[in-house]
Amino acid sequence: MAYDSTNIFARILRGELPCKKVYENEHVLAFHDINPQAPVHILVIPKGAYVSLDDFSAKASDAEIAGLVRAVGEIARARGLTEPGYRILANHGRDANQEVPHFHVHIFAGRPLGRMISKA
Active-site residues, by number, are 104
Q: Which of residues 36-75 bind ligand DGP (CB under 6 A)?
A: none
**Contacting range for ligand DGP; rule: CB under 6 A; set: 58-66, 72-80, 93-101, 111-119:** 93-101
* Per-residue DSSP letter, 48: S
3 state SS of 83: coil
> Contact between 99 and ligand DGP (CB under 6 A)?
yes
Given a contact cutoff of 8 angstroms between Cβ atoms, the answer to whether 101 and 7 are in contact is yes
The span from the CA of 64 to the CA of 57, in Å, is: 10
Chain centroid to Cα 40, Å, comes to 13
**Contacting range for ligand DGP; rule: CB under 6 A; set: 58-66, 73-81, 97-105, 110-118:** 97-105
Which parts of this chain interact with ligand DGP (CB under 6 A)?
8, 17, 19, 31-35, 91, 97-100
